[in-house]
Amino acid sequence: MKIHEYQAKEILMRHGVPIPRFEIVTTPADARKAAEDIGRMVVVKAQVHVGGRGKAGGVKLAKTADEAEAHASNILGMDIKGLTVEKIMISDAVDIDREYYIGMIVDRQTKKPVYMVSEAGGIDIEQVANETPEKIHKLAINPVKGLSAADASTLAAKIESRPEVAAKVAEFITKLYDGFIGSDASLAEINPLVVTPDGEVWAVDAKMNIDDNALYRHPDIAEMRDPAGETDEVRKAREMGLSYVKLDGNVGCLVNGAGLAMTTMDVIQHYGGAPANFLDIGGSSSPDKVVTALEIITSDPNVRSILINIFGGITRCDDVARGLVQALEQTSIEIPIVVRLTGTNEDEARKILAKHQFVSATTMDEAVEKAVELAKQPA
Ligand code: GDP
Ligand code: MN
């Protein structure tokens, strides 16, 4: 789950990471008040789930409360990469001497949390990663032993040569690690970590993703979910207990079980097609779930055929069949639907479906070939 900058800062503050004082507001008038409260130069920052806000005009410095109010009225309602800005942060602006990058991810290759640090922080870190990757230093951390003081010092020394400042950076690195582990994050990024001319260190920006499977351990973080950060389809799928990921192809997929869904996508590719989505309706599937799944699939304008691949175990084929019929009664779906149902109650399912216009198939290969072929037909 993605969370906003202000939410990441709230979490990290609890772990002692130094965060400049901030307030969250939704109106220009409140932006003015917040700037007056802070009483110094502030930075006005869009709170949206995308990077590169600065470049998009979503981060502005304001010397006075008047300026803060003016920036707030520009930024509120602004569209940044398809997301509308509804909340802004008014943050105490810090003086910048240096901008570093500090990030942590769970790395699949090493199967460990990996720290990444760079002295070339700021808004162009992607460019640094592409053009001069040697400027990014990595260290895999043993998750059982945790981050040692030596690890933290080694990392800090890669980016900061002054011993007193390096000690503060090392302390920062330790606290960020605690925040990352303590909240079951899959990513935590501070870009920039600012060193002021006086040698203080601050997390000026913060980005965190939290492992969805660990949210049950963090009810406070689970509440941070912002529905505005999800597309309607993803939200609908999540609320119905479906796993849905949109992809770029044109064969819509409705499958039960993550493994079968992955396999179905592979077989589609094998037959020269491209899946429009991953969609797992889960183990026990009510007709409602199937209706919702079809609504989600058909709302994607790229979809040219729909492939329903059900291996009935706990999922009953007749339930899926009823859902299909119900969905077709509620909305007229023009897109051809290929159905392969096998397993629990398959005979009953066939009877339910017989009255309707489905392309039926008995094997997975046959079903996929048909769906791929139909997706190639002109609309
Ligand atoms: P991003 O563009 O979404 O990564 O937003 P950031 O919060 O990283 O801000 C982008 C840039 O704005 C930073 O790299 C800084 O150069 C500048 N900036 C952000 N906050 C401050 C601040 O408190 N003081 C100063 N002087 N500049 C800031
Ligand atoms: Mn940033």
Tell me the pLDDT tens digit for each residue of 216-246. 999 999 999 987 777 888 889 988 989 999 9
Task: Classify the C-alpha dihedral 44-52-183-277 as positive or negative.
Answer: positive
Residues 6+ apart with CB under 8 A from 174: 147, 149, 152
264 vs 249: CA distance, rounded Å? 13
d(CA 337, CA 323): 13
Q: Quick one: which of 313, 303, 305, 304 has its CA closest to 281? A: 313
Q: Active-site residue numbers?
A: 101, 189
End-to-end CA distance of the chain: 37
pLDDT for the residue 312: 85
Residue indicated by tokens 């058909």: 298
Give residue 148 CA to ligand 2 midpoint distance, Å: 27
Which protein residue has the closest C-alpha to ligand 1 atom 7? 205
Distance of CA 209 to the CA centre of its chain: 7
Determine whether the shortest distance from the Cβ of 59 to ligand 1 is under 6 A: yes
Counting ligand 1 atoms within 8 A of each CB, the residue from 53, 99, 204, 207 with the most, and so the one to mutate, is: 204
CB atoms within 10 A of CB 191: 21
Cα–Cα nearest to 360, from 327, 336, 376, 378: 336
Question: Whole-prediction pTM value?
Answer: 0.77
The runs of H, that is alpha helices, within the chain are: 5-14, 28-38, 65-75, 125-131, 149-159, 163-182, 219-222, 232-240, 258-270, 287-298, 317-330, 346-354, 364-376
Which atom in ligand 1 lies closest to the alpha carbon of residue 20? 23
Residue 78's alpha-carbon distances to 48, 56, 66, 91, in angstroms, are: 10, 10, 19, 19
Q: Which atom of ligand 1 is nearest to the CA of 123?
A: 14
Dist. CA 54 → ligand 1 center (Å): 7
Confidence (pLDDT) at 284: 66
282 lines ligand 1 (CB under 6 A): no
Nearest Cα residue to atom 14 of ligand 1: 122
Residue 139 pLDDT: 97
**CA separation (Å) from 248 to 56, 74, 255, 278, 371?**
26, 34, 18, 11, 16
Q: How far is the CA of 158 from the centre of ligand 1 (A)?
A: 22
pLDDT of residue 379: 67
Dist CA 67 CA 214 (whole Å)? 42
**Whole-angstrom distance, CA of residue 197 vs CA of residue 206:** 21
Distances (CA, A) of 228 to 47, 48, 72, 247, 301: 11, 9, 19, 20, 22
Write down all domains in the chain, each with its CATH number in brackets.
21-92 (3.30.1490.20), 98-222 (3.30.470.20), 231-376 (3.40.50.261)
Query: Best substitution site from 43, 49, 53 to test ligand 1's pocket, by max atoms within 8 Å of Cβ?
Result: 43
Pick from 337, 345, 374, 339: which is nearest to 360 by CA?
339
What one-letter code names the amino acid at 349? A
Which atom of ligand 1 is least distant from the CA of 121?
Answer: 14
Q: Which amino acid is at 292?
A: T
Judging by beta carbons within 10 Å of its beta carbon (0-12, 13-18, 19+), is residue 219 exposed, middle or buried? exposed
Atom of ligand 1 nearest to the CA of 93: 23
Say yes or no: CB of residue 287 within 6 Å of ligand 1. no
If DSSP codes are grouped into helix, strand and coil, which group holds residue 370?
Answer: helix
Show the low-confidence residues of the chain (pLDDT under 50). none
Residue 282 CB contacts under 8 Å (≥ 6 apart), including other chains: 241, 242, 243, 256, 257, 289, 315
Q: Is 35 in the pocket of ligand 1 (CB under 6 A)?
A: no
In the reported structure, the alpha carbon of residue 90 is separated from the centroid of ligand 2 by a whole-number distance in angstroms of 15
Using CA atoms, how far residue 115 sits from 74, 118, 154, in Å, is: 36, 10, 11
Question: Helix and strand tally (H, E) in the chain?
Answer: 13, 18
Give yes or no for a contact between 88 and 46, defined as CB atoms under 8 angstroms apart: yes
Find residue 135's DSSP bridge partners.
none
CA of 52 to the centre of ligand 2 (A): 7
Atom of ligand 1 nearest to the CA of 91: 23
54 lines ligand 1 (CB under 6 A): yes
Ligand 1 touching residue 204 (CB < 6 A): yes
The rounded Å distance from CA 278 to ligand 1 centre is 37
| Ligand 1 binding pocket includes 120 (Cβ within 6 Å) | no
50 lines ligand 1 (CB under 6 A): no
